[in-house]
Amino acid sequence: MRELSYAEAIREALRQEMQRDERVFIIGEDVGVYGGAFGVTLGLVEEFGEERVIDTPISELGIAGAITGAALTGMRPVGEIMFMDFTTLAMEQLVNQAAKIRFMFGGKAKVPFVLRTPAGSGTGAAAQHSQSLENWFVHVPGLKVVMPSTPYDAKGLLIASIRDDNPVIFIEHKLLYKVKGPVPEEPYTIPLGTAEVKREGRDLTIIATSIMVQRSLEAAQQLAEEGIEVEVIDPRTLKPLDKEPLIRSVMKTGRVLIVHEACKTGGYGGELAAVIAESEAFDYLDAPIIRLAGRDMPISYNRTLEYHTVPQVENIVQAARDLARGRM
């Protein structure tokens, strides 16, 4: 199968959905002629024109309001907020309007939009351009939250998100844009709310999200050389969450390490830990549930400090090794 980068897979999903459905359009800052801050929408304005690839003023609240209103009138907008940090400026429309309209109108109105936004650290972009704020949106009823970790998942989940009748927050890690992997040429969907076992194992389970899936797989490869077989699971969509594969895996291995980039306090790992603790998997645990997450501090501009603020492969290896060998 041919390989595409994560960014190319997203671009192909956008192109194929725009070709399939004239209601789909793209709107955001620099998404047109410039091709997006990370080049994801390159070439789309030339193919579809400025009426369907719309450059906006610098107003994240305006982008969120525009996609909410357009979705209400029957369109299928895909908005882009250049950095996830700036979703903070759009929270009123996203949280108080888009997430609640379908409920407040008794299902007579729907808001089928996708809001794409790059998140995460690793680019030296400092504290205001490097955050992972996914759990803010997970907390809001009415929003779906998607975090793909591979090019294949990015394409399939984005197409499914565009076709979904609910507002979807689609979070793309900046460091994944250049990662390559097999992607079918034809359109396909991955249903929202389906987790995937990325690697089979018997000794412990790692549940990881976004870039941490890639790092966990690398850590699992290193640990296999020591005789420790790690199972790696990617929820893929944080909300709705596919709980059963996580629970089954923990029942099999008896140990679980949860890895994410966002700050540990209030992070998604706490929700995953609660899911395990409240399930039948709890009685199968041979060790405490362990969370490995970002430090509770803003991301530093200094690259060495930035590196040590969020989990890296060596941190995952050490935490998994200690957990597997009963040192936790």
Active site residues: 129
Residues 6 or more apart whose CB falls under 8 angstroms from that of 314 comprise: none
* CA distance linking residue 289 with residue 213, whole number of Å: 18
Q: Please give the radius of gyration of the chain, using alpha carbons only, rounded to the nearest integer.
A: 20
Residues 6 or more apart whose CB falls under 8 angstroms from that of 49 comprise: none
CB-CB contact of 250 with 284 (8 Å): yes
* CA distance linking residue 70 with residue 245, whole number of Å: 36
- Look at residues 324, 254, 248 and name the one whose alpha carbon lies nearest to residue 285: 254
Q: How far is CA 218 from CA 225, 285, 319, in A?
A: 12, 24, 14
Residue carrying the six token digits 């395990």: 276
* CA distance linking residue 204 with residue 317, whole number of Å: 12
